[in-house]
Amino acid sequence: MSKSIDLVAGAGLRDKTRKSRLPARLDFLQSASGLFLALFMWAHMIFVSSILLGKDAMYTITKMFEGYYVFGKSYPGLVSCVVAVVFFVFIVHAGLALRKFPINYRQYKLFRGHMKMMQHEDTSLWFVQVYTGFAMFFLGSVHLYIMLTHPDKIGPYASADRVWSDLMWPLYILLLLAVEFHGGVGLYRLAVKWGWLEGKNPNETRKKLKKAKWGITIVLLTLGFLSLAAYIKIGIAHSDQVGERYTPAGVEQPHQ
């Protein structure tokens, strides 16, 4: 009798809807892709800012990524391969992030109302991510497409010509602001979400993380604007010789 009761009590348990793990997995993928892109952008900023050390330094970095110092010949296609991977991760991350964006004006107004009422800094930071992420999807796609299709046009003169003579500097100013604010806020939110460096006092840790976030953002924005100014200066001086490639003194022009 008891056995039959147990069978009845357990009837249909397998048919019950289990809570899907998909949202958690998508959250993890969004976090992982965001972390990858943020770290890539930090490295990218270091490479781009090599122009501040002089044209020769930027030339060396460019040739390094083209494999010149390994193969003895430049292969710009290697740059395209790297950009293709970054572009793919960029699109995946954007698609995953769209899940949490307000999908209509009513949701937008509702969220804005809650944000004003709560006066919660972390909530406001999330809204900064929404704005900057939306801008990055368009601005970043343009830049990545150009790098993907014209990997041979990277260098002291080629990059400066693109910035100045091709009138890309307004886009790069907006992209720089969007990337650094989005990346800084994103890394802070990742640290809070996954409990990185939480310590014994989470509230105190958050305050320290926010200070570090703003410090890093200010440093990277300063470095970015100084680098952009250097490219603009070179581009203006080189505007009558657009298309010429830079080669350090005493170095034979590598075969492309």
What's the pLDDT score for residue 59?
96
129 vs 251: which has the higher pLDDT: 129
Give the model's pLDDT for residue 5.
47
What number is the average pLDDT over the span 26-53? 93
Buried residues in 73-100 as b, exposed as e (16+ CB within 10 A): ebbbebbbeebeebbebbebbbebbeee
Per-residue pLDDT of 150-191, as tens digits, reads 999 999 999 999 999 999 999 999 999 999 999 988 888 888
Domains and CATH numbers, the chain: 26-241 (1.20.1300.10)
Q: Give 60's DSSP letter.
A: H
Using the 8-state DSSP alphabet, how is residue 100 labeled? G
Percent of the chain with pLDDT over 70: 81
- pLDDT per residue as tens digits for the range 199-227: 677 777 788 888 888 999 999 999 999 99
